[in-house]
Amino acid sequence: MSIKPPVVWCVGGSDSSAHAGLQADLRTGQDLNCHVQTIVTCITAQNSKEVRSVEPVSLAMFDAQWQTLLDDVPPDAIKVSLLPSIQIVKACSAWLTRMKADFPNLLVVFDPVMAASSESGNQLQQTDAGASLLENILPYADVITPNLMEFSALTGLSGDISIEKLQSKMMRYFDDSDSRWLIKGGHCGLGDKATDWLVDRNAIVGFTFNRLSVHNTRGTGCTLSTALASFIAHGYDLLDALTMAKAYITGALKSGVQIGGGAGPLGCPGWPLQFENLPTIVSPNSAITPISQPFPKMDLEKMGLYPVVDSIAWLELVLKEGVKIAQLRIKDPDEHLDSKIQQAIHLGRKYDAQVFINDYWQQAIALGAYGVHLGQEDLDVADLEQIQAAGLRLGISTHGYYEIARAQSIQPSYIALGHIFPTQTKDMPSQPQGITRLTHYATLLKGHFPTVAIGGINAERLSSVVKAGVDSVALVTAITKADQPKLATRSLILSFEQSIRGKS
């Protein structure tokens, strides 16, 4: 029996040209392995050049669609777009109220369609007040995705001011709703780059991308919001889902097709596995600045089994048994910290191995370590330029697409991907990634950054992790809690090598 795909409900208008609207929603959801079910708000007569007619469905039909779907299977996410009348706006609000009460964890993406993105610019929105949409829909939307023109029409605020000042002017909306706003910048502005800003009460995150000189752009907003809802339905958190949706849109724009005399529809690029399509993550409040030159490269021939140990004794044991990459992770430092790091560096040189020091980058620089490994929280306080100037390699922990995209501007020596399975060593803020996600990450990064899988990996799981395509596999308790650690280390090295040969 096949596994049921995630179910996404899309509420919006039918586009007779199939360039945008519910037809684009269906195409996007299917491309991302979701089952899209539709709630039609209106029928439109349009082609690639113009919108000739918009006819709302009756309220009875609108309500019947919600109830009929709900009687069968609930959604994993909802995307709401074109609501052509105040009556349908209010009816949609009532249904969202019910859905949020019955399914508290259900996320809603709201794409406030105000006009067609065709060359005609014909208005699809039949209401004349953004206030009605905000009053009735915003309280139930987890993410709202207006472009700059739609944002101004909804709020009366201009997108010309700085994003920090815009955030302060939006506080009244954050008082009324927990919605996060993705203000899209692709329609406006000059230059070869544009930024979409995710804004809420406490944070601002930018997703910067290269502008593309393409003609076939119909349905871009529909596709982005449906892709976002699809990734949410797959279980990704919002920042990961947004990063993936932005990468997907870039791929869809690159593969657009010419159908009709006007702007054609976007293509179907499949799961976002192209590294060049990832957005660059920016934040006005971040201490992380892009690194102009990449960190020194790893020796890929020495990447394999990657023990992470907490003592010099354990480090010496695994290096003696033939390990060529290892990490010293001391959780509770004492007055002997510098001496331990110095010993670790000496052992790395003695056994011709790549030994990384976890966290203590100042000591690693001062004592001449091979490399340092940093977690996401460490990136905000470490002096990355100083680490690079000292010639150290840098490894970075990541937990999903957003942090991978964030890491690309740092250009580290390797990217660690985790945690793959539940761990025994520490509490984790994220859910286990699993083999499918790991395979996607490894494919995305192949040829760009070496990869290390980490988290809950033991002897039984090692082969499947290696076959996911990573360059190295980090483990802890598979050695340190083994009855015979030396034998376990040798056995794991052999298993890694056999898995590599089996993969090829």
Would the annotation count 331 as a binding residue? yes
Would the annotation count 242 as a binding residue? no
> How far is CA 79 from its chain centroid?
18
Pairing of strands 108-110, 77-80: parallel
Burial of 177 (0-12, 13-18, 19+ CB in 10 A): middle
Residues 172 and 138: their CA atoms lie apart, in Å, by 12
Residues 235 and 232: their CA atoms lie apart, in Å, by 5
Residues 323 and 493: their CA atoms lie apart, in Å, by 7
What distances in angstroms separate CA 224 from CA 30, 192, 241, 271, one per listed residue?
14, 20, 11, 13
Would the annotation count 87 as a binding residue? no
Would the annotation count 477 as a binding residue? yes
- Backbone φ and ψ of 147, nearest 5°: -80, 180
Would the annotation count 425 as a binding residue? yes
Would the annotation count 423 as a binding residue? yes
Closest by CA position to 186, among listed 111, 250, 280, 257: 250
Would the annotation count 424 as a binding residue? yes
Would the annotation count 260 as a binding residue? no
What distances in angstroms separate CA 78 from CA 12, 94, 96, 142, 292, one per listed residue?
11, 14, 9, 10, 41
> b/e string for 203-228 if b means 16 or more Cβ within 10 A?
ebbbbbbeeeebebbbbbbbbbbbbb
Would the annotation count 4 as a binding residue? no
Burial of 407 (0-12, 13-18, 19+ CB in 10 A): buried
Would the annotation count 397 as a binding residue? yes
Q: Return the sign of the alpha-carbon dihedral for residues 17, 248, 242, 102.
A: positive
Would the annotation count 65 as a binding residue? no
Alpha-carbon Rg of the chain, whole angstroms? 26
Omega of the bond leading into 419 within 30 degrees of 0 (cis): yes
- Find out whether 385 and 291 touch, Cβ atoms under 8 Å: yes
Would the annotation count 463 as a binding residue? no
Beta-carbon contacts of 504 under 8 Å, excluding residues fewer than 6 positions away, are none
- Which residue's structure tokens are 């502008």? 211
Would the annotation count 328 as a binding residue? yes
3-state secondary structure of 75: coil
Q: Which helix (H) or strand (E) holds 242?
A: helix 238-254
Closest by CA position to 11, among listed 58, 73, 65, 68: 65
Would the annotation count 426 as a binding residue? yes
- Which residue's structure tokens are 């491309």? 31
What distances in angstroms separate CA 22 from CA 16, 18, 39, 271, 317, one per listed residue?
10, 8, 9, 20, 60
Question: Annotated binding site for Mg(2+), which residues?
Answer: 359, 378
Question: Annotated binding site, which residues?
Answer: 327-331, 358-359, 378, 397, 423-426, 456, 476-477
